[in-house]
Amino acid sequence: MFFLLPAFAVIAETAAAVTGGVIASAGTIGATVAAGTATIGGIAGTAVAGAATTIGIEAAAATTLGTIAAGGTTTALNVGIVEAGKSLLTD
């Protein structure tokens, strides 16, 4: 199953970039928010990679897990922001 990790990392990075681009297209505030979510995702990814290394997962796999965590966190935050924005517009 570890052979799928690089593919999941690419998917996570792509999803984060796409959702971040959508938010960033909303002007200065959107760009600032997108940068913030990317920063938070990076912090989460670093924490996951560090934890994975600590428990003995090899460095390359730990880095890949960190990439997946970073992309997943960033995407989740971006989608949450988009959903919140939609509810502001529709309520």
> Where in the chain are the domains?
2-90
Q: Choose among 42, 47, 48, 49: nearest CA to 71.
A: 42
Q: What value does the mean pLDDT take over residues 59-78?
A: 97
Question: Which pLDDT value is given to residue 91?
Answer: 62
Q: What is the pLDDT of residues 8-64, one digit of tens each?
A: 999 999 999 999 999 999 899 999 999 999 999 999 999 999 999 999 999 999 999
Q: Measured between alpha carbons, how far is 7 from 5 in angstroms, rounded to an integer?
A: 5
Q: Are 79 and 46 in contact (CB under 8 A)?
A: no
Kindly tell me if the per-residue pLDDT of 86 is higher than 90: no
